[in-house]
Amino acid sequence: MTNLAQDLLSSFVVREPQLNGGRNLSIAALRKEALDRFELTGFPSTKDEEWKYTNLKPVLKHDYKILLKSDDAVAFSDIKQFLLSDLDTYKLVFINGKYSSWLSETTHSEFDICTFASALNKYPDTIAEYLGKAAPKGETFVDLNTAFADDGAFIRIKNNQTVDKPIEVLYLTTEENGPSFSQVRNLIIVGQNAEVQIVERHQNLGSTVNFTNFVSEIFAAQDSRVSYYKIQNDVTHASLVDNTHVLQERQSNVHVGTYSFGGKLVRNNLHFYSAGEHCESHMDGVTIIGDGQTVDHHTLVDHQEPNCYSRELYKGIYLGKGHGIFNGKVIVRQKAQKTNAFQQNDNILLSNKAHIDAKPQLEIFADDVRCSHGCTIGQLDKNALFYLRSRGIPKSEAQGLMTYAFASDALEYVKVPQLATRLNLVIADKLGINLEFAL
């Protein structure tokens, strides 16, 4: 067992009484059971099939602080650049895993856009009803998070409500605690025929290492529409395990876009469960990383009911010694006839030291389905490069233009125009091209 695992187990004893959910017996039991499971398994190693290509050792070895303090020194001017500018949004800002009321803009009027901690107090029954119902028991990081997490975003949209503006959730880490290990949790409950857009970001503001174990559960009721965008553009001493679990009821439409441009190690466990007919599940993303960075996309679409559609499109561009992993699993249960599942993962390696491990996994138990999957790994097309150069566009710009075009393909479903512009800017910047090419 790693030191960190031991520290976590012993700190639970100190922590448990303070965990708000402790007041609700069923939540307290959930936490304890989750901790017990963690105690048995510990952190996964590369011997574990699901972690074969992603070695956690280098990020778990630090002497992380587990019980974290917030940081009063963070001002709006420090975080402005991480928010969407020129756009009115609801804001939930957390510093070292603690809610920061002075940087946030919440509401309880027509819908609840507030915090997990306050929901534990105010709506313990709702929490007990939903907590852990989308995220599966037995996944180490989920269990660990279930045991500890006491804050994060709580978003509850009532039936037939459309949230009037996007919600931004910002998770910040500062140097206040030295190396820090934080565990935060979202609970997002979207009622029937309701609609919401969420933009989320984790950001380390300091120079000390941090590790975030994050769980987000999304419950999309019948006919609801959810857009959930994840911006992962952190510094190279920040690591993140993002466990996002989406439970969809009939005719709901959920899109999760993951834009990974940075971080030391980012692992995305993104799972969709279509538990009603005619669901649409969209997941797409752009990954652009280089030296000292690993991004691992582990996705799962579990088609449990007939007539559902899933679309998965991930684009990866790897520079320097960047390391990408893509493991896309699609399960079509026996009952799920007429499933239409599309999966495509395209990668470009811009350096011969970069590498990608890619694996599609299809488990199909129904016979009347349409499933397609494709995976490409390549360099830029030489003929196309020559074509652009022959028109006077220098090699580096031509490469940038082509990779930009390759990547921006996966931004088609971004519904918030300001976010789309922002992402285009980041991509152009990462590829070192001038924006005249891009816009």
Partner 1 sequence: MIKIKNLHARVEEKEILKGINLEIKPGEVHAIMGPNGSGKSTLSNVIAGREDYKVTGGSIDFEGADLLDLDPEERAHKGIFLSFQYPIEIPGVTVSNFIKTAINETRKGRGEEPMDAREMLSKMREKSALLEMDKSYLSRSLNEGFSGGEKKRNEIFQMAMLEPKLAILDETDSGLDIDALRIVANGVNKLRNANNAVLVITHYQRLLDHIEPDFVHVLYNGKIVKSGDKNLAIELEAKGYDWIKEENV
Q: Is 259 in the site for partner 1 (CB under 8 A)?
A: no
Q: Is 314 in the site for partner 1 (CB under 8 A)?
A: no
Helix, coil or strand: residue 285 = strand
Among 362, 366, 393, 426, binds partner 1 (CB under 8 A): 393
192 C-beta neighbours (distance < 10 Å), count: 18
**Chain center to CA of 424:** 19
Q: Report the residue number, 29 or 384, with the smaller CB distance to partner 1.
A: 384
287, 321, 338, 388, 404 from 382: Cα distances, Å: 22, 22, 40, 10, 16
Give the single-character DSSP code of 137: T
Q: Which of residues 408-437 bind partner 1 (CB under 8 A)?
A: 408-409, 436-437
Q: Is 395 in the site for partner 1 (CB under 8 A)?
A: yes
Residue found under tokens 């852990």: 132
Q: Report the residue number, 125 or 412, with the smaller CB distance to partner 1.
A: 412
Q: Report the residue number, 189 or 286, with the smaller CB distance to partner 1.
A: 286
Closest approach of partner 1 to the CB of residue 112, in Å: 40
164, 188, 210, 335, 429 from 85: Cα distances, Å: 17, 24, 27, 46, 18
Closest approach of partner 1 to the CB of residue 437, in Å: 6
How many residues belong to the site for partner 1 (CB under 8 A)? 25
Among 388, 413, 421, 426, binds partner 1 (CB under 8 A): 388
Closest approach of partner 1 to the CB of residue 154, in Å: 39
Of 62, 46, 42, whose CA–CA distance to 296 is shortest?
Answer: 46
- Order across the sheet with 340-349: list the strands: 98-99, 90-95, 167-173, 195-204, 225-232, 253-260, 280-289, 309-318, 340-349, 370-378
Q: Is 365 in the site for partner 1 (CB under 8 A)?
A: no
| Region binding partner 1 by CB under 8 A among candidate stretches 31-39, 117-125, 332-340, 400-408 | 400-408
Among 138, 374, 394, 432, binds partner 1 (CB under 8 A): 394
- Pairing between β-strand 195-204 and β-strand 225-232 as defined by DSSP bridges: parallel
Closest approach of partner 1 to the CB of residue 403, in Å: 10
* Contact call for residues 295 and 289 (beta carbons, < 8 A): yes
- The site for partner 1 (CB under 8 A) is made up of 381-384, 386-395, 397-398, 401-402, 404-406, 408-409, 436-437
